[in-house]
Amino acid sequence: MSGRKRQGSVSGREFRLFWFGETTSMFGNGIAVVALPLVAVLTLHADTLVVGLLTSVAYLPWLILGLPAGAWVDRLPRRPVMLICDAVSFVAYVSVPAAAWAGVLTTPHLLLAAFLGGCANVFFTTAQRAYMPTLLSDAELLAGNARLQGSESTAEITGPGLAGLLVQAFGAVTGLLANALSFVVSWLCLRAIRTIEPPPPAVQRRRLRTEVGDGLRFLFRDPILRTLAVFSAVSNIALTGMSSIEVAFLVRTVGVGEAMVGAVLTLCGLGGVLGVLLSSRVSHRFGSARAALICQVSAAPFTLLFPLTGPGAGLAFFVAGGIGAGAGVVAASIITDTFRQRYCPPGLIGRISASAAVISFGAIAVGGLLGGALGELCGVRETLWMMSGLQVLSTAILLFSPIRKFRDFPESEHAIFAAETGKVMS
């Protein structure tokens, strides 16, 4: 029996430890999503471009390190990589409140902390995706991904609200201290896992550039993986162009206070929870490929509600847009992540995941910079209109792709070949 079939279940001790550690870290990140830009806006009095840059520099490491990270992760045990990343993230984020309390916090320091945290996130995320099949069987991966996504969505609900209260009561940097401590909990949970990770495949090591190329070639030669990667890039530019300036938009354009910012983003997070609840149901009813397509196409028009937001009752537009867009995007993400974990060869999964992530998260770096720059040049509300329009247009990539031919995603590249040619690969 292969290593992938021997693994445990979502109710087992090892996955529960992993899940708890990740959930705690996600709650910290949910706080940081609001706390980091609020530190820039309230403590450093930064302009909209700097606020956008915070998102951009946090994801810039994907463009720099993403591809070699995939090859390194495929060479190394995944858990030690994640442990090191948690330690680096803790140091990066705890340095911000330490510097603020010492009276020496600067904008470059804040940007550097976001960049170092982003570097650690590159390796952690790549290793985590490759590590999941060690803890769970193929049949349990969808449930495991749904639980992790459920935790993330719950964190997106409670994190911003808690961040708003922390900022209002104790100052903007307190939220980043909470985020730093969450990485300690994640580190302790990972250390407690006893599952023996199978060694990397015994293959002859080649030049790093060659191994990186293997992941890229697999990704771009496969019509479904290629389509998902291109769509993620365009969609993430649009979504991040909006999210990178949402705090500045709510505070400066709409005139919302810190606590209300947290409350609005908390309500928006309900969409993620709805997406988690929907993912398994729509996947079973319509088929995984059709469900992912339906979710993304249905979610995009909700983003057009963001720029309609106004004070008072006008905040309902922002909340409705966040719930609708979040539900579709999260449900589709759970379905497509599970497809990749089942579909990619175990010896290449790190490199393929990293290749896709470089495209997807690299686009987030572009979106953050673009959102901040356009916000300064054209106005924040006008930028929201442009980015929401781009998100709607991006769904054409899926609608005119090979994915529309499938009811369910295939479980191997052989199934793709058979579907397109009517033949069986030798």
Q: Is residue 383 part of a domain?
A: yes
What mean pLDDT comes out for the span 225-245? 91
Q: Is the pLDDT of residue 344 over 70?
A: yes
Q: Is residue 386 part of a domain?
A: yes
Q: Is residue 278 part of a domain?
A: yes
Distance (Å, rounded) from C-alpha 359 to C-alpha 63? 8
Q: Is the pLDDT of residue 425 over 50?
A: no
Position 415 confidence tier, pLDDT thresholds 50, 70, 90: very low
The structure tokens 């916000």 sit at: 375
Question: Nearest Cα to 281, choosing from 268, 294, 264?
Answer: 294
pLDDT in tens, 128-176: 877 887 777 767 777 777 787 777 766 666 666 667 667 666 777 877 8
Residue 109 CB burial class (10 angstroms; 0-12, 13-18, ≥19): middle
Amino acid 11: pLDDT: 67
Q: What single letter denotes the amino acid at residue 16?
A: R
Question: pLDDT higher for 207 or 145?
Answer: 145
Amino acid 275: pLDDT: 87
Q: Is the pLDDT of residue 12 over 50?
A: yes
Amino acid 116: pLDDT: 92
Q: Which domain holds residue 186?
A: 7-199+209-421
Q: Is the pLDDT of residue 205 over 70?
A: no
Provide the phi-psi class of 103: left if phi over 0, else alpha when psi is between -120 and 50, else beta. Answer: left
Structure token pair of residue 251: 């505070």
Position 10 confidence tier, pLDDT thresholds 50, 70, 90: low
Amino acid 417: pLDDT: 43
pLDDT in tens, 84-131: 999 999 999 999 999 988 889 899 999 999 999 889 988 888 888 778
Say whether 8 sits in a helix, a strand or coil: strand
Under 8 Å CB-to-CB from 32, ≥6 apart: which residues?
A: 93, 159, 163, 175, 176, 179
Distance (Å, rounded) from C-alpha 307 to C-alpha 321? 10
Amino acid 422: pLDDT: 43
* Strand ranges for 207-342 from DSSP E: none
Q: Is residue 426 part of a domain?
A: no
Amino acid 308: pLDDT: 95
Under 8 Å CB-to-CB from 396, ≥6 apart: which residues?
A: none
Q: Is residue 236 part of a domain?
A: yes
Compute the C-alpha angle 334/337/338, nearest 5°.
Answer: 85
Following DSSP, what letter does each residue of 306-319 receive, concatenated?
GGG--SGGGHHHHH
Which CATH number characterizes residue 374's domain? Answer: 1.20.1250.20
**Integer angstrom CA distances of residue 86 from 69, 153, 162, 217:** 16, 21, 22, 31
Question: pLDDT higher for 308 or 30?
Answer: 308
Amino acid 89: pLDDT: 92
Q: Is residue 337 part of a domain?
A: yes
Q: Is residue 204 part of a domain?
A: no
Q: What single letter denotes the amino acid at residue 386?
A: M
What mean pLDDT comes out for the span 399-410? 90
Q: Is the pLDDT of residue 335 over 60?
A: yes
Q: Is the pLDDT of residue 4 over 50?
A: no
Amino acid 160: pLDDT: 64
Question: pLDDT higher for 94 or 6?
Answer: 94
Residues of the chain with pLDDT > 70, as a percent, come to 85
Amino acid 157: pLDDT: 64
**pLDDT winner (highest mean) among 12-16, 26-30, 90-94, 211-215:** 90-94
pLDDT in tens, 360-369: 777 877 888 8
Q: Is residue 111 part of a domain?
A: yes
Q: Is the pLDDT of residue 2 over 50?
A: no
Count how many domains the chain has: 1
Q: Alpha-carbon dihedral of residues 402, 368, 87, 347, nearest 10 degrees?
A: 20
